[in-house]
Amino acid sequence: MNVFRLSGDVSHLLAILILLGKMWKTKSCAGISGKSQLLFALVFTTRYLDLFTSFISVYNTIMKILWTFSIYPESVSILPQLFMITKTGEAETITSHYLFFLGLYRALYLANWIWRYHTEGFFDQIAVVAGVVQTIFYCDFFYLYITKVLKGKNMGLPLPV
């Protein structure tokens, strides 16, 4: 465990808490892409199914095949949310924060992989390539988010179409 992975996990947790807080407060899921949430559900279901067993066998191997599969939909699971924002032309403040922390989680995991490569010699090509692809999808959003924060403007982000 290193500072990048820990920070990435905290960022991911904050994104989830922001999303849940938004839905609790507004009693609505307006502005949140259902397709993105279904893809994320698929990602994390396939990634963590092996937690229900400690039996190390063919079953464990099959579950880790599922882990590798979960990497692919995770890399594109944010696209429906970003398309939804592009279609509507803006995002609520809380939705913007949610997306920022999801993107930060992914960017911090890139730093984690760089750190692990230099300190442990560890390199998972599938995870790194998918993580880079996913982070690239966030780049336009990051630019708009950061420029709005620096200008002190409302975080309801209009996105270029």
Residues 63-108 pLDDT 10s? 567 778 888 898 899 999 988 888 887 788 888 899 999 999 999 9
Residues in CB range of 56: below 8 A, 6 or more apart:
none
Q: Is the dihedral of CA 84, 86, 90, 92 positive or negative?
A: positive
Distance (Å, whole) CA 11 – CA 127: 18
> Are 71 and 133 in contact, with CB atoms under 8 Å apart?
no
Q: Is residue 54 part of a domain?
A: yes
User: Looking at 47-61, 102-116, 134-148, which range is the least confident one?
Assistant: 47-61
State the residue range of the domain holding 147: 3-151
Q: Is residue 159 part of a domain?
A: no
Q: Is residue 27 part of a domain?
A: yes
pLDDT of the residue at 35: 94
pLDDT of the residue at 56: 60
Q: Is residue 116 part of a domain?
A: yes
**82 CB neighbour count, 10 Å cutoff:** 18
Q: Is residue 140 part of a domain?
A: yes
pLDDT of the residue at 161: 39
Report the domain count for the chain: 1
Q: Which of 13, 14, 1 is nearest to 112 (CA)?
A: 1
Distance (Å, whole) CA 52 – CA 63: 11
Q: Which residue has the higher pLDDT, 116 or 151?
A: 116
- CA geometry: angle 133, 8, 37, nearest 5 deg: 60
**8 CB neighbour count, 10 Å cutoff:** 20
> Are 72 and 125 in contact, with CB atoms under 8 Å apart?
no
The model's confidence at residue 159, banded by pLDDT at 50, 70 and 90, is very low
User: Looking at 21-35, 97-111, 112-126, 138-152, which range is the least confident one?
Assistant: 138-152
Q: Is residue 157 part of a domain?
A: no
**34 CB neighbour count, 10 Å cutoff:** 11
Q: Is residue 122 part of a domain?
A: yes
> What is the per-residue pLDDT across 5-63, written as a single tens digit (0 to 9) for each?
899 999 999 999 999 999 999 999 999 999 999 999 999 888 777 666 656 666 555 65
Mean pLDDT of 110-114: 94
Residues in CB range of 149: below 8 A, 6 or more apart:
155
Q: Is residue 160 part of a domain?
A: no
